[in-house]
Amino acid sequence: MTQPNARGRFTKGWAIAALAVMLFAVPAAAGIIVQNFLRADIEVNDACFSKTNGPDVAAASGLMTFDTTATVADTAGGVDLLQETATFQAYAGDRMLYTSAINFNNTCGHDLDLTFISAADPAGGAAIDTAAAFGNIDVRMYLPAPAPAGVAVPGLTGTWVEMLSVVNGTATNGTTPVTLADGGTLTLAVIIDADAATPTTVAPAAPFAGTLRWIAQADHG
């Protein structure tokens, strides 16, 4: 599996629209539970595409957090969506390298193709929240992928694909889907680079911080 087929491919706009429609679906829509409007939690019973925190989230001691609520939307087009929310912090001049941020799991009975799409959530949370902070910190997210696709990541072995980056406050979606094998797990790596303090500025006592939102899209092929 190398590219999502036309039936399952979502643009950023369609992905957001799909989530929004399901949020406000009538109560009779089986399997969709709106637990909290502000958090926009959507759950499909026995979802086969899921995520769990990796060990680096606890080790980061609050410098990196992920919303671990099951927010799967099973669409008619053969695509599962996870609405993601994460906060990142870094002190001036730091490079933070997390190799085990969160795990994406596949129990669907077949392979999935994963892509990330920068997007606001249906409740109105911005794709890049606290944008001023992201003028000071850059965030890049990677998943492992078979060679030859991917880019080399400093400090990591093997081949990795950049899934999403936010550099100088601008988000860029990756263009190479990553295959998540049936019964397998892919672990997200995150690199955070914070601007160094200059001779004319004083490094802040508190870290730069901001919140990112995006959609993890799994195409069933």
* Segments forming the whole domain that contains residue 78: 12-219
Residue 7 inside a domain? The answer is no
pLDDT, tens digit, 9 for 90 and up, residues 173-189: 998 899 999 999 999 98
| Residues 1 and 211: beta-carbon distance below 8 Å | no
Residue 57 inside a domain? The answer is yes
Residue 121 inside a domain? The answer is yes
C-alpha dihedral (29, 43, 209, 190), degrees to nearest 10: -130
- Secondary structure of 196-220 in the HEC alphabet? CCCCCCCCCCCCEEEEEEEEEEEEC
Residue 109 inside a domain? The answer is yes
DSSP code of residue 134: G
How are beta strands 112-118 and 170-173 bridged, if at all?
unpaired
191-to-37, 48, 82, 143 alpha-carbon distances in Å: 31, 28, 21, 12
Residue 93 inside a domain? The answer is yes
> pTM of this prediction?
0.72
pLDDT, tens digit, 9 for 90 and up, residues 100-153: 898 999 999 999 999 999 999 888 889 998 777 787 889 999 997 655 455 556
Residue 5 inside a domain? The answer is no
Residue 39 inside a domain? The answer is yes
Residue 155 inside a domain? The answer is yes
pLDDT, tens digit, 9 for 90 and up, residues 15-27: 445 545 444 443 4
pLDDT, tens digit, 9 for 90 and up, residues 49-108: 888 888 888 888 888 999 876 666 666 668 888 889 999 988 888 888 888 898 999 999
Task: Give how many domains the chain has, as a whole number.
Answer: 1
